[in-house]
């Protein structure tokens, strides 16, 4: 093979016209309104990779709800910030906006993880928060606190899990069903803890694409008005309580 300079070639008029023909109905489809938001949904790159955002919460909540329909007992969801690519303005939400936010067509899965593995995943999530990497997780069904001043993989100091009676401390030995996407379940963004669970067969591949999940959630729940509610808190670790 050899490298060809595209700039030395003229557009093929027939192909260009055919592309435009196919694009026209797609552009109309993108304008389809699927729901509405009472607030701006924050998907800015620097935010979804560094802190809790209301759009991150909305996406994670939609994943948890859909996964729970198919794998009952799934109340936790984790969505890597690198998979959220744009914000959505207040008002009507269109298919085009959803596809801009989630352009990768990732499939929903659930993983059976121990509390200890969830903790490890959260440690990985914030291990390079200062660099704004896509591994940073937006979450549903969890509240966790971390201290960015601590060394990587030793930053998380509190994790609570949502139950029917409110939040309670994560049980390190208990197994939880966790919804996430197929990319990180396959070890993407460095999630070896997820890859291990998949390799061991602790996975349910639900074969539903992410943008369809968010679309369905908006269709059912609009107008939405998600908030930042303390699911992810960057704070100095509390000193250990001295023993008597």
Beta bridge partners of 78: 139
d(CA 77, CA 86): 20
The length of the chain, given as a count of residues: 244
| DSSP β-bridge partners for residue 177 | 112
- What is the model's pTM? 0.92
Per-residue pLDDT of the chain (244 residues; tens, 9 = 90+): 999 999 999 999 999 999 999 999 999 999 999 999 999 999 999 999 999 999 999 999 999 999 999 999 999 999 999 999 999 999 999 999 999 999 999 999 999 999 999 999 999 999 999 999 999 999 999 999 999 999 999 999 999 999 999 999 999 999 999 999 999 999 999 999 999 999 999 999 999 999 999 999 999 999 999 999 999 999 998 776 655 5
Cβ-contact 66, 216 below 8 angstroms: yes
Cβ atoms < 10 Å from Cβ of 140: 25
Question: Would residue 187 be called left, alpha or beta, if left means φ above 0 and alpha means ψ between -120 and 50 degrees?
Answer: left
Lookup: tokens for 104: 């990768």
Ranges assigned E (strand) in the chain? 33-37, 76-80, 91-94, 107-114, 137-140, 142-146, 156-163, 166-169, 175-181, 203-209, 232-234
């Amino acid at each position: 093979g050899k490298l060809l300079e595209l700039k030395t070639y003229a557009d093929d008029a027939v192909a260009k016209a055919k592309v435009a023909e196919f694009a026209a109905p797609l552009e109309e489809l993108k304008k389809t309104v699927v729901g509405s938001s009472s607030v701006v949904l924050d998907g800015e790159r620097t935010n979804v990779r560094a802190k809790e955002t209301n759009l991150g919460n909305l996406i994670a909540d939609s994943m948890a709800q859909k996964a729970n329909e198919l794998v009952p007992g799934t109340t936790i969801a984790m969505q890597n910030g690198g998979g959220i690519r744009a914000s959505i303005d207040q008002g009507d939400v269109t298919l085009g906006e959803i596809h801009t936010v989630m352009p990768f067509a990732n499939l929903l899965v659930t993983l059976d993880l121990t509390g200890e593995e969830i903790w490890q995943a959260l440690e990985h999530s914030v291990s390079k928060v200062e660099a704004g990497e896509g591994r940073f997780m937006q979450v549903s069904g969890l509240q966790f606190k971390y201290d960015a001043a601590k060394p990587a993989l030793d930053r998380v100091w509190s994790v609570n899990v949502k139950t029917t009676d409110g939040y309670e401390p994560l049980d390190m030995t208990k197994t939880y069903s966790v919804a996430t996407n197929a990319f990180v379940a396959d070890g993407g963004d460095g999630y070896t803890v997820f890859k291990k669970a998949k390799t061991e067969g602790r996975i349910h591949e639900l074969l539903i694409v992410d943008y369809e999940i968010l679309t369905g959630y908006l269709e059912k729940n609009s107008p939405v008005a998600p908030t930042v509610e303390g699911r992810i808190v960057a704070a100095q670790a509390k000193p250990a309580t001295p023993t008597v």
